Structure 1
Amino acid sequence: MIVYTFPTLYEDIVKARINRFTVVTESEKICHLHDPGRLKELIYPGNKILIRNVNGKRKTKCQVTAAWSGKEWVVTDSSIHNEIARKFLPTDAKAEVTVGKSRIDFAFDNTFVEVKGCTLARDNIALFPDAPTKRGKRHLDELIELKRKGYSVLLMILVFRTDAVCFSPNFDTDREFSNTFIKALEEGVNVEVKAFQLDKENIVYKGEIPICPQILGKVKSTPHK
């Protein structure tokens, strides 16, 4: 199942990451990197990347689309996450719904949905986040509160690689987020982890992967469905 198609992609090599959102390539292109993570396993001098040309009034005329993991291309562009997630939701789902001090990505009927993208995997385990995220923790807290108020809530995690057999919150990077993730499971927040692969210009849905057993073992009560 193809869920997204990029325009033509060009291979290049990272020369430098000059700030959080800007990469200079060996061909001297200055490209936007639309991802809030550290990506230190993917975006580093000498590694291969895929870029695409972009139009508009931006300072950069290209965008980093994916990086080589050593085994496969991993999509590193969070600007497309919600467009992909929408493929798995009702057509009337509303985007960017204000809840408390934040915006939840989608809402439909009695359900709220928050979307997170995952690019990091170690020892065949998909890990999120790859950088501390107070915003991510706040979103989990809000999903928990909505669940307590009687709403149906869903955390949808998009894993952009195929070498992971299960998902775990990244305790080493962000213990507060990870503990809140466990709490969310205990409170009955539904979690769906979907894996994707970049095949030429196409992002292909490969199916769901489970939460790792060692994480489910930390849950003190059986999550409500």
Structure 2
Amino acid sequence: MKYNAITPATFISRPNRFIAIVKVDGKELAVHVKNTGRCRELLLPGAKVYMEKAANPERKTPYDLVAVEKDGKIINIDSQAPNIVVKEWLLSQKKYDLVKPEHKYGDSRIDFYMEKGDEKYLMEVKGCTLFVDGVGYFPDAPTERGAKHLRELTHSIEEGYKPVIAFVIQGEGIEEVRPNTATDPEFAKAFEEAVAAGVKVLFLQCKVTEDSLKVDSESWKK
């Protein structure tokens, strides 16, 4: 996926989870943050950030903050990007007879439903932006929906589905993602139970630039 009209800026502060104050051309400006997670280790005063011009010229926040630079590397923090790049990747694989986004299953909407012959797949997508000592961790803030989706995937095995949780790694140089037990023990518990039951875990490593995000390689949790 590619963004349009990317503008660099300097991060100043984040008064709430939706808004950031940045400096552009010497002026302070309020912009929309396309990530409701904490991003505390990324959105630090003085950090270089990248913004996309909003499609609606009348919007109060004229830009969307989509990426940030840390230690010389760009990390995409757009929470909408993972589903877009996974759809692009799934279609490019030409592995499935059917790829359907936003599939209703149980009490949830699972990100993707796929078919290959008689086989039925469910795939839930999670974007990872929290990296510690070369390892990705999810989530960076508590998420009740995350644990719920994992339980739905676990239950689907009994109904003949082949469920997958896919972690889109939104920064380069990270190969795997682990549950962030300290931040969300409920998600970690649901994750371990899902893996034990047979839910497959897919890591999608990405090529990241200030104006693009693309799946570059894949690996499976052993």
Same topology, TM > 0.5 = yes
Structure 2, gaps ≥5 residues long: 91-95
Q: CA RMSD in A?
A: 1.7
Measured in 2, the distance between the counterparts of 1:205 and 1:93 equals 17
1:10-89 to 2 correspondences below 5 Å: 10-27=7-24, 28-56=28-56, 58-89=59-90
8 Å Cα contact 1:121-1:163 kept in structure 2 = no
Q: 1:99 — aligned with what?
A: 105
Distance 1:147 1:111 in 2: 10
Give 2:169's match in structure 1, choosing from 159, 162, 183: 159
Cα pair 2:4 2:52 within 8 Å, conserved: yes
Amino acid in the other structure paired with 1:80: A
1:170-202 deviation per Cα after TM superposition (whole angstroms, max 9, x unaligned): 112111111211111111111111111323423
Residue 108 of structure 1 pairs with residue 114 of structure 2: yes
1:221 aligned residue: none
Match of 1:147 in 2: 157
Matched-pair contact (CA < 8 Å) for 2:83–2:111: yes
Cα contact 1:125–1:168 (8 A) shared by 2: yes
Q: Does 1:9 align with 2:6?
A: yes
1:177 aligned onto 2:196: no
Displacement after TM superposition at 1:91 (Å)? 7.3
CA shift in 2, pair 1:114/1:62, >3 Å: same
TM-score normalized with structure 1 length: 0.86
* Length, aligned pairs only: 209
What displacement does 1:20 show? 0.6
Do the aligned residues in 2 keep the contact of 1:116 with 1:157 (CA within 8 Å)? yes
SS at match of 1:32: strand
Higher strand proportion (structure 1 or 2): 2
Q: In the TM superposition, what is the alpha-carbon distance from 1:42 to its structure 2 partner?
A: 0.9
After superposition, the Cα gap between the structure-2 partners of 1:204 and 1:106, relative to the gap in structure 1 and judged at 3 Å, is: closer
- Contact kept, 8 Å, 1:29 with 1:62, in 2: the verdict is no
Percent sequence identity over aligned pairs: 30
Q: Distance in 2 between matches of 1:161 and 1:91?
A: 30
Which segment drifts farther, 126-135 or 8-17?
Answer: 8-17
Matched residue, 1:120: 130
Map of 1:195 onto structure 2: 205
Letter in 2 for 1:62: Y
The 3 A distance-change label for structure 1 pair 165 and 80 is closer
Distance 1:91 1:160 in 2: 28
Higher mean alpha-carbon deviation, 115-124 vs 34-43, is at 34-43
Q: CA deviation at 1:205?
A: 2.7
